[in-house]
Amino acid sequence: MSDKSDIQLVKEAQKGSIESFDLLVIKYQNRLQSIISKYVSNFDDVPDIAQETFLKAYRALSSFRGDSEFYTWLYRIGVNTAKNYLVSKSRRPVFGDLEISENEYLHPEDTSTPENNLMTEELELLIKKSISNLPEDLRMAITLREYDALSYEEIASIMKCPVGTIRSRIFRAREIIDQIIDKNLSNE
């Protein structure tokens, strides 16, 4: 990998260095595919959508001014490309591939009894379903925070709104998820 910063690589790529852009692709391809897989349920389509994202980014590289981090800019292109793919397939985003165990807030306690494993699986399914039913602005904010571990500032940049709005959306999303879980647990 290169010791150069993203902005140095971008500037070189803007001047025609394919090698510099290749380094950015190598650096971000796995993160980008991870993001895309949260929107697209067919895993086989993810690499193609990631490749299309990088092509779009390369073509639009001259418009990158450095107002945000390169990854934030690339992320926006990736999410939009995934959404366009879904629209072309007439499908809604599917969050079935989310790994609940990857985040602290939604991670149920791990125990090894069969009964507890079943309860954990049911809770994970309930959380996934709750997230997928959130309004898009809340779903995107909570996903970026909890699954992608982005900062509030990065999320605000991606979603093009103030940090305070992001904090509010994440709080509301968590509140809704908690209410759904509480309601389901009290019904059992």
Summarised one tens digit per residue, pLDDT across range 146-172 is 877 788 888 998 889 998 889 889 888
Where does a domain end: 88, 110, 125? 88
Q: How buried is 62 (Cβ within 10 angstroms: 0-12 exposed, 13-18 middle, 19+ buried)?
A: exposed
pLDDT-derived band at 99 (thresholds 50, 70, 90) equals very low
Neighbours of 55 (CB within 10 A): 12
> What is the rounded CA–CA span in Å between residue 170 and residue 142?
5
Where does a domain end: 39, 57, 88? 88
b/e sequence 158-173, b meaning 16+ C-beta within 10 Å? bbeeeeebbeebbebb
The pLDDT of residue 38 is: 81
Query: Is the pLDDT reported for residue 15 higher than 90?
Result: yes
Per DSSP, 104 falls in state S
61 found inside a domain:
yes
Is 113 in the same domain as 171? yes
The pLDDT of residue 91 is: 47
Query: Is the pLDDT reported for residue 5 higher than 50?
Result: yes
Q: At 137, which CATH number?
A: 1.10.10.10
> What is the rounded CA–CA span in Å between residue 49 and residue 137?
22
- Structural domain span for residue 81: 6-88
Quote the number of domains for the chain.
2
113 found inside a domain:
yes
Is 110 in the same domain as 183? yes
The pLDDT of residue 23 is: 92
pLDDT tens digits, residue range 78-91? 988 888 887 777 54
Q: Give mean pLDDT, residues 161-187.
A: 85
> What is the rounded CA–CA span in Å between residue 161 and residue 167?
11
pLDDT-derived band at 106 (thresholds 50, 70, 90) equals very low
Q: Give mean pLDDT, residues 86-98.
A: 55
Query: Please, are residues 95 and 132 in contact by the beta-carbon 8 Å criterion?
Result: yes
Its pTM stands at 0.54
Is 41 in the same domain as 112? no
> What is the rounded CA–CA span in Å between residue 167 and residue 155?
10
Is 63 in the same domain as 110? no
Written as six digits, the tokens of 73 are 């800019």
